[in-house]
Amino acid sequence: MAYNTAPIYITTPNVNARDTALDTLHRHAALEALYNSAESFPQPRCHPETRIGLLETLRDRLLDPEIRVVWLHGPAGAGKSAIMQTLSQRLEEAGNLGGTFFFKRGHSTRGNARVLFATLAYQLALFFHAAKALILESIRRKPLLVGTSIASQLRELLVEPCRRITDSTSMPPRILLVDGLDDTSFASTPYPSKIIIASRPEPEIQEIFNDPSFHGLDSVNIEQSFKDVENFLRTEFSRIHGQHYETMADVPLPWPSSDIIQILVDHSSGYFIFVATVIKFIDDKQFRPTDQLQIVLNPTPDSEDYPFGSLDKLYIQILEQVPRRCRPQLLGILSVIAARWDLSPRHIEQLFGYRSGDVRLILRNLHSLLEIGDEDCPVRATHASFLDFMQNKTRSGLLCVGGVQHRIDLARGVLKAMSCTQVPEHHHVARRLTGWIDLITSIEPHFIGAAELLPWIQGVNLDFVFHHLPNWFIYSRADKLISWLKIVRGAPKDLIVLWQRIESMYHFSLFEFIRRSHSEAVQEALQNLLLRKPQLERIMGVAHLIGESSLSERGGLLYKTRVLLDLSWEDIITSVWHIRPIVDIDSKCSAHQPAYSTNQVKPNPKAAKDIALGFIRLLKKINEGELQTTILNHMEMDHKWGRLIATQLSDAEVFNELCELVPPTAQIAANPGPALQPEDFSVILAGLKAYDGCPSELIDRWTGYFEESERRKSNPPRP
């Protein structure tokens, strides 16, 4: 928060002509910043049935002798000022109030940090007799003190006087309250007086409270409170119904319905700024509350009776804290947040090709609008109303991310990430992008920029489609993409055909087709097809064994088959497509066949060898750096790969490939992460010992691998 630092002199009546020091403080104090000032009347206060637990927590923290500074933080519109106003009143009634200062951005005196400490010192001198003489002594000793730097005022007017008070045990603690302060000096300065600061979750203040070298600091987060919001709405609607008796006489109670109240509660995200705006709008005596409520439920931003103008100004004010040179990147990040993909800062950087740390730097001043955790926590909007604001150009203007060009830019970034050949690097991003087809098809196909996406759609790595995305997603979305492609000018025919085949493949399960019983006509047609298509026979054989060995529990059967056989997706899709006519025949006969009879597709006897060779070559590629180690997670190899290889050691090709294999050392008994476990090494070692004529050097080498895996499992290396 930026403050005007020019000196402010407030002309007020001289409260004590004989005490020039107190008069000096009085003249430099911003009386408008007091919690109960006439200027800000009526002050926002907590509803009696809300924030009960939070107010008790704050009181307990402030009365704790070990705590000297409390930081109350929460997003914009969380109700911080109302909580501080209520707390100020209660502390004054209990005799614990030392002074208050409520900042207001842009105000001539309340927006000026130069008068903050003079204002607090003036109140402390009036409320706390033990501090009065010491504070006034500082003024008499240095008459120009109120015009010096903020740090000097803090030290001379508050820190030193409070330190010199020795006889304080018999007096109640005096607590200072500052609302809206974004300056860290308050938190980092050690002194005995109690202070509570309320502000947005600014990173600079967070760093102070996370620093273990500072003692006596405590922070309280204003958590979401949907129940408090609901209580507030029900009470306020009841009040409005009673006070607007002329226009509400014919409206039966309860009004409005519970469904409407729930809609408003959900839209509030558990914070008060939205519902407070709603109540203020509906409570206008010049209009019928029922009509005003309908406007709230169906707002039109460009109409003169739009209810959320003040809310929009707040959002724009906060967003404009981001430097203009960073606005293009900011809009890209906001478009991801608006898409609700729950990407972390690191994943957003991967998506757009930003440098590491860029996202957190760009969003540094937006903690009051966004939830920003560590590098692996998703970035989300704090307020549901902020999501609506971002996507409505009439409301957000140049900061809108709902325009067609923003969607094209986002779609390009998504498709670029999905074209990556090293899938493990981006699989965390990909599995969250289930809405990418919806994003693309939301772009008008006749729009000139739509054709720009065609090369990127062609370049999508289908590993993302067949492994990282759930079957229901492709089944329910592929037809939308196909229809869109048919309209876009210049869409290649082969691209449309590809997605038609992909959609068709998701209409049946290859593994279920292999397992189920078939009529004699289907069996004969399939055998003839496999004789003409040996590659299809290999694919079906491997898919059969992978399914039977439970290696496909999390899906991705075709993905694992492709990896193990080292085939392209064109090979897989073209081969499996040849089964479609037989599937159509089978669907007509399936109703007359008992499930899982002996009349099933016979597995290819060479499939086990194909899987063993596939695993060995996969491990070689990992060791040589051609593949990422995380592919082991996708293949679900734990406790299975060793047995699958050991059963095929009698085959010369498998044995020779194993002789050349050096397992990736980093993954031996790794924890956490994909692991090559001792059980797998033990099975292979037993197979080698049973192999007639196996070289002793090979047995010794695999004995070493087995012992290393046991050692690492007992004493795992540090990450």
- As averages over each run of 10 residues, the pLDDT of the chain (719 residues) reads 44 50 86 82 74 86 84 80 89 88 79 84 86 87 85 84 63 80 53 74 72 72 80 90 90 90 85 82 87 84 71 83 90 89 86 88 84 81 83 86 86 83 56 78 90 92 74 70 94 92 71 67 82 88 74 62 90 86 62 46 75 89 79 65 86 91 69 67 90 90 88 70
Count of structural domains, the chain: 4
Residue 78 lies in a domain: yes
What are the angstrom distances between the C-alpha of 709 and each of 283, 664, 667, 695?
72, 11, 9, 22
Pairing of strands 370-371, 380-381: antiparallel
Q: Kindly provide the b/e burial profile for residues 518-542, where b requires at least 16 CB atoms within 10 angstroms of the residue's own CB.
A: bbeebbebbeeebeebeebbbbbbb
Based on the fold, state whether residues 523 and 578 are members of the same structural domain. Answer: yes
Measured distance CA(657)–CA(79) in Å, rounded = 68
Based on the fold, state whether residues 210 and 140 are members of the same structural domain. Answer: yes
Q: Report pLDDT for 675.
A: 62
Report helix angle 272-282 to 258-268, nearest 10.
Answer: 130
Residue finishing a domain among 307, 330, 345: 307
Residue 162 lies in a domain: yes
Based on the fold, state whether residues 667 and 624 are members of the same structural domain. Answer: yes
Count the helix, strand and coil residues of the chain and give each as a percent rounded to the nearest 5: 60, 5, 40
Nearest to 23 by CA among 146, 112, 176: 146
Based on the fold, state whether residues 303 and 217 are members of the same structural domain. Answer: no
Q: Report pLDDT for 472.
A: 56
Residue 39 lies in a domain: yes
Residue 440 lies in a domain: no
Q: Report pLDDT for 219.
A: 78
Residue 365 lies in a domain: no
Note the pLDDT tens digit of each residue in 611-632.
999 989 988 888 887 877 777 7
Based on the fold, state whether residues 286 and 162 are members of the same structural domain. Answer: no
Residue finishing a domain among 221, 253, 288: 221
Residue 213 lies in a domain: yes
Residue 302 lies in a domain: yes
Based on the fold, state whether residues 659 and 559 are members of the same structural domain. Answer: no
Q: Report pLDDT for 70.
A: 87
What are the angstrom distances between the C-alpha of 449 and each of 333, 446, 453, 486, 487?
20, 8, 8, 16, 13
Measured distance CA(473)–CA(451) in Å, rounded = 24
CATH number for the domain spanning 180: value is 3.40.50
3-state secondary structure of 664: coil
Based on the fold, state whether residues 49 and 156 are members of the same structural domain. Answer: yes
Residue finishing a domain among 221, 236, 253: 221
Based on the fold, state whether residues 202 and 244 are members of the same structural domain. Answer: no
Q: Report pLDDT for 689.
A: 92
Residue 4 lies in a domain: no
Residue ranges making up the domain that contains 84: 20-221
The predicted model scores a pTM of 0.61
Residue 316, Cα to own-chain centre: how many angstroms?
21
Q: Report pLDDT for 1.
A: 43
Based on the fold, state whether residues 52 and 171 are members of the same structural domain. Answer: yes
Based on the fold, state whether residues 161 and 290 are members of the same structural domain. Answer: no
Based on the fold, state whether residues 140 and 282 are members of the same structural domain. Answer: no
List of E strands, 146-303: 175-179, 194-199, 217-221
Specify which residues 177 forms β-bridges with. 100, 196
Based on the fold, state whether residues 586 and 629 are members of the same structural domain. Answer: no
Q: Report pLDDT for 613.
A: 92
User: Does the N-terminal peptide bond of residue 42 adopt cis geometry, omega within 30 degrees of 0?
Assistant: yes
- Neighbour tally for 36: CB within 10 Å: 13
